[in-house]
Amino acid sequence: KGPGATHNITDILTGRCEEYRKCLLGEPCLPFYRNVKCRAAVESFFKGIRNMDPCATPDNAYDEFLNMVPPTTVRGTTMFWSGVMGNNIPQDVAQVTPEFSVLEETFPGYMAGNLSWCGATDGDGTGLGLNFTVCPTWTSETCPNNTKAAFWARASKMLATQAVGDVYVVLNAQRAGGAFNNGSIFATIEAPNLNQDVVTNVAIYLIPDFQLAIPNEMYAETCTNGSVLYLQNFLMNMNFNVTCEENPKEIMWLQCARFANSPYCGPYAKGNPVV
């Protein structure tokens, strides 16, 4: 069980919608978005979930909302990630790098980012049909179709479906059980929805965890073993071009800026260039 719906969630969603639609965020911004009616968008966000069991969200609960503000990325920039949630590294790299776009930078991802929400069947007194006290967590096995997971699953599917050109996926080289996790959204929803006809390359970025920095385990997995090798074969069997890079510099610099004392930074770190 996790926190309940974020207080003032309706106002927050409306405000973020206005920011995005007016192109105040420096993200690629489409003329199409300018005409979004934020009141209507926020209303459609809640429509499929209010007064609903938070563990029985229909797959299509957010379809009307997501069709009003679909996730869109510039050709050749779409970046997926999996197993690297803790430090927001891919999100922050994408924010300072126009070459990469993550779901959290798209219209629906920006609106919903870092918010909590779920439906409530028993009147909560607010009239919103949400539970402001407690919501199911992501990982709960007894509650797979939870309100929030259903949102990210559907938004992720749309992100993958519209991706064109080179795409990227950031994976955690030290993830317990393997960098490529079979049950992840990336494995079950994003990778299978990439389009072979328009995606020119899938670049795997395998990154160590500079904060945890387990000694001698900078690469518990490499590009040539374990679940990452499996992923490469899986993608090649789907007819994708695949490349794999360990600790790419674009990400390494940011990790070292953030975790300045990490033993993975500097000349003594295995795999780093001597500088």
Site for ligand CV1, rule CB under 6 A: 80-83, 85, 103-104, 109, 138, 149, 152, 156, 159, 181, 184-186, 190
Q: Which is nearer to ligand CV1, 36 or 150 (CB)?
A: 150
Place of tokens 């503000």: 69
Q: Which is nearer to ligand CV1, 185 or 265 (CB)?
A: 185
Q: Which is nearer to ligand CV1, 190 or 246 (CB)?
A: 190
d(CA 172, CA 208): 6
Query: Which among 243, 143, 157 is positioned nearest to 192, based on CA atoms?
Result: 157
Q: Which is nearer to ligand CV1, 70 or 83 (CB)?
A: 83
The answer to whether residues 266 and 242 touch, using CB atoms and an 8 Å cutoff, is no
CB of 119 to ligand CV1, least distance (A): 16
The answer to whether residues 243 and 232 touch, using CB atoms and an 8 Å cutoff, is no
d(CA 152, CA 86): 17
CB of 261 to ligand CV1, least distance (A): 25
CB of 124 to ligand CV1, least distance (A): 23
Q: Which is nearer to ligand CV1, 103 or 120 (CB)?
A: 103
> Residue 233 burial by CB count (10 A; 0-12/13-18/19+): exposed, middle or buried?
exposed
